[in-house]
Amino acid sequence: MPHDGTTRIAVNAGTDPVAPGNLIVVSVDGVRRDTPTSVVRRAAPEQIARQLLARGDKCTDNARVVAVRFWGGEA
């Protein structure tokens, strides 16, 4: 493990279909794996991210949650 505060992890890349209206949520290792994930899906992505962060912050590491709603269109 590097001594500069970084850790290298294995990444499993893959693809999943995304449809307009889908909610995409990503979190880092500062958020507990057993965080309850039931949220009001119609809520704004920012509100969803804040709820998940409040429920799952380990308080021992950097914790981040990103939530976005895909509305379609070309990338």
The H or E element that residue 27 is part of is strand 23-27
| Residues 16-38 pLDDT 10s | 898 999 988 888 777 777 776 77
Top-confidence residue, 9 or 47: 47
- Model confidence pLDDT, tens digit, residues 42-59: 889 999 888 888 877 787
Q: Which residues contact 61 (CB under 8 A, 6 or more apart)?
A: 29, 30
The encoded tokens of residue 74 equal 């070309």
pTM for this model (two decimals): 0.66
Residues 63-71, mean pLDDT to the nearest whole number: 88
1 pLDDT above the threshold of 50: no
